[in-house]
Amino acid sequence: MFQELLQNQKEFFKSHQTKHIDFRLTSLKKLKEVILNNENEITTALLEDFKKPVFETYITEISVVLSELDLMIKNIASWSKPEKIRPALMNFPSTEYIYNEPYGNCLIIAPWNYPFQLAMAPLIDAIATGNTVILKPSELTPKTSALLKRIVSEVFQPEHAIVVEGDADVASKLLDLKWDYIFFTGSVKVGKIVAKAAAPHLTPVTLELGGKNPCIIDESAKIQLTAKRIVWGKFLNAGQTCIAPDYILIHHSKKEAFYKAIKTEIEAAFGITPETSPDYTRIINKDHYERLTGLIKNETIITGGQQNINDNYLAPTVLDECSLESDVMQDEIFGPILPVISYTSENELQSIINSYAKPLAFYVFSSNMDKAKKLMDEFSFGGGVINDTIIQFTNHRLPFGGVGESGIGAYHGKHSFTTFSHQKAVVKKATWLDLPFRYAPYGDKLKTL
Ligand code: NAD
């Protein structure tokens, strides 16, 4: 069945329809219209899937998707044009170009944590670039996945783009097929499965993965503002964000002040009982709830720790001085738990951060710009921010992606255009002149060089 869907998309791609800019524009404009008509349905689906606050759904899902659509609609024509580049002297007389050629048939596999945006944005980018798409959203957000299926089917013919719902089994059946491009967002573990499945066909992949994102607070940081910005970035979506700060490394002289500040900032954002706050998301399911509550069992809790199994609720939780051997410091946390570790020397920072794989995000809070920039320079990571969290995501001019175990490739804005197209080199050689130098017999031409 999946083979048949893909075969139809292959035939459709061969018809060259997707290469027409007008066709792409019409599809994306229609998609925009249908999304605008379904804004309420989108917020309802996310509320039902994991109590995602309406405001967060708007700013982190709907508006991100709408602005990616607008950007693509505005730029498809100019970004698709062959780019004329400076010709090589050796080729004189010639004109030389880079063509952006759509790869063809793309498979997109999406996660549950931003289930609308992380499925829709790559779909928009792949379509804008002239590809066909089969999209498999996450089975953990069934309401959103069903809505994605309906929206896509209202806009696209199945041979152009279609949503296939299902779990890991469905994903692995799809991965058995021969694709021209695979775009995967999810865990490192599944990212490796995707890379393995792509290898026999030499299919290019983008892997948007995760990791343990460090957040350094040095002795010169403005503590109250630091705490406020960390509370926002960490507890947005209840910490289920790939670029959320995973753990804090704080200069020992600032630890007590930070604890005081983070308690007041959590209370300012979510009240004394975050469980009753309309602005606090739930853990996605029981398995993740149990995994997360297990992580805090043997730790010293500075604030938070309250839980409710009936609702998959775990309060914003800050932990004191977790050991690097503790469970919470092994893998990406992906939940509302913030371990704090104090340091005294920069060597300690080096040895802790370097004991983990290259992270997706990296944060430094400091008033000393030389020091902050030095840290940005010294470590390898997907993207980082000095004195804030998460906001590297918001500028479409910045590439969004990981490095090492946190991912391969990047997207957003024009970077997505490059991601979903093959950059084809084309040289147009003139015939009015034919310089003889390169042709045999070479004789003693070498002496003239
Ligand atoms: P996941 O890897 O469990 O699942 C992602 C997708 O892969 C889902 O559609 C799922 O059905 C599918 N899948 C699961 N097991 C599979 C298998 N064995 N074979 C093939 N497909 C399979 O990830 P998740 O729990 O949905 O999302 C959380 C992870 O995603 C975190 O690690 C987070 O950091 C990462 N993430 C990364 C980004 C990014 O942009 N870099 C964004 C969001 C989430």
Q: pLDDT digits over 121-134, tens only?
A: 999 999 999 999 99
Which atom of ligand 1 approaches the CA of 210 most closely? 34
Give CB contacts under 8 A, 24+ apart, made by 314-321. Answer: 314/238, 314/283, 314/289, 315/274, 315/275, 316/231, 316/234, 316/235, 316/238, 316/239, 316/266, 316/270, 316/274, 316/280, 318/259, 318/262, 318/263, 318/266, 320/259
Q: Active site includes 290?
A: no
The verdict on 222 and 190 lying in the same domain is no
Are residues 177 and 221 located together in one domain of the fold? no
Nearest-atom number in ligand 1 for the CA of 194 is: 20
Q: What is the residue with the minimal CA distance to atom 22 of ligand 1?
A: 168
68, 208, 265, 405: the catalytic one is 208
Tell whether 338 is covered by a domain: yes
pLDDT of residue 192: 98
193 falls within a domain: yes
Question: How far is C-alpha 256 from the chain's CA centre?
Answer: 34
Is residue 155 a part of any domain in this protein?
A: yes
Q: What is the CATH number of the domain that holds 106?
A: 3.40.605.10
β-strands 94-102, 361-365 pairing: unpaired
Burial class (CB in 10 A: 0-12, 13-18, 19+), 133: buried
> Is residue 436 included in any domain, yes or no?
no
With respect to residue 446, please indicate whether it lies within any of the assigned structural domains. Answer: no
- To which H or E segment does residue 427 belong? strand 421-429
Find the length of the chain.
449
Distance of CA 187 from the midpoint of ligand 1 (Å): 4
Omega prior to 93 cis, within 30 of 0: yes
Distance (angstroms) between ligand 1 centre and the Cα of 168 equals 10
How does DSSP assign 249-275, residue by residue? EEEGGGHHHHHHHHHHHHHHHH-S-GG
CATH of the domain at 247: 3.40.309.10
- Ligand 1 atom closest to Cα of 208? 41
Closest CA to 328 of 309, 300, 302: 300
Query: What are 349's two structure tokens?
Result: 């920072």
Ligand 1 atom with the shortest distance to the CA of 186: 30
Nearest atom in ligand 1 to 114's CA: 43
Q: State how far the Cα of 42 lies from the Cα of 45, in Å rounded to an integer.
A: 5
The answer to whether 438 and 422 have CB atoms below 8 angstroms apart is no
Same domain, 102 and 54: yes
Residue with the smallest CA separation from ligand 1 atom 14 is 168
Instruction: For residues 253 and 328, state if they share a domain.
Output: yes
pLDDT at 449: 86
**83 and 165 fall within a common domain:** yes
- pTM of full prediction above 0.90: yes
Q: Measure the CA dihedral 332/337/341/346, to 10°.
A: 50
Task: Say whether both 245 and 184 belong to one domain.
Answer: no
CA atoms within 13 A on the CB side of 170: 17
- Which residue lies with its CA nearest to atom 34 of ligand 1? 210
Q: Are residues 100 and 59 in the same domain?
A: yes
Q: Could you tell me the residue range of the domain that residue 196 belongs to?
A: 1-209+406-424
- Regarding whether 228 and 183 lie in a shared domain, the answer is no
- Secondary structure class of 162 (helix, strand, coil): strand
Query: Is there a domain that residue 442 lies in?
Result: no
Query: What pLDDT, on the 0 to 100 scale, is given for residue 144?
Result: 98
Residue 445 lies in a domain: no
Q: Whose CA is nearest to atom 6 of ligand 1?
A: 111
Kindly list the protein residues whose Cβ atom lies closer than 6 A to any atom of ligand 1: 109-113, 118, 136, 138-139, 167-168, 171-172, 175, 185-187, 190, 193, 208-210, 242, 332, 334, 360, 402, 407
Is 4 annotated as catalytic?
Answer: no
- What residue has token string 């379904």? 38
Strands 317-320 and 300-303: antiparallel
Q: Other CB atoms closer than 10 Å to residue 85's CB: what's the count? A: 11
Instruction: Give residue 242 CA to ligand 1 midpoint distance, Å.
Output: 10
| Mutational test site, ligand 1, from 167, 190, 234, 332, max ligand atoms within 8 Å of CB | 190
Instruction: Please report whether residue 228 resides in a domain.
Output: yes
Q: 257 and 175, same structural domain?
A: no
Among 242, 289, 330, 398, the mutation site with the greatest number of ligand 1 atoms within 8 A of its Cβ is 242
Domain count, the chain: 2
Q: pLDDT per residue over 389-418, tens digit each?
A: 999 999 999 999 999 999 999 999 999 999
Identified catalytic residue from 106, 215, 242, 322: 242
How do residues 325-363 score in pLDDT, each as one tens digit?
A: 999 999 999 999 999 999 999 999 999 999 999 999 999
ipTM topping 0.95: yes
Q: For the chain, list residues with pLDDT below 50.
A: none
- Distance between CA atoms of residues 120 and 110, nearest Å: 9
Answer yes or no: do 270 and 192 share one domain. no
Together in a domain, 232 and 183: no
pLDDT of residue 1: 86
List Cβ neighbours of 367 (8 Å cut-off, separation of 6 or more).
220, 221, 222
Structure tokens at 360: 């997706």
**253 and 369, same domain (yes or no):** yes
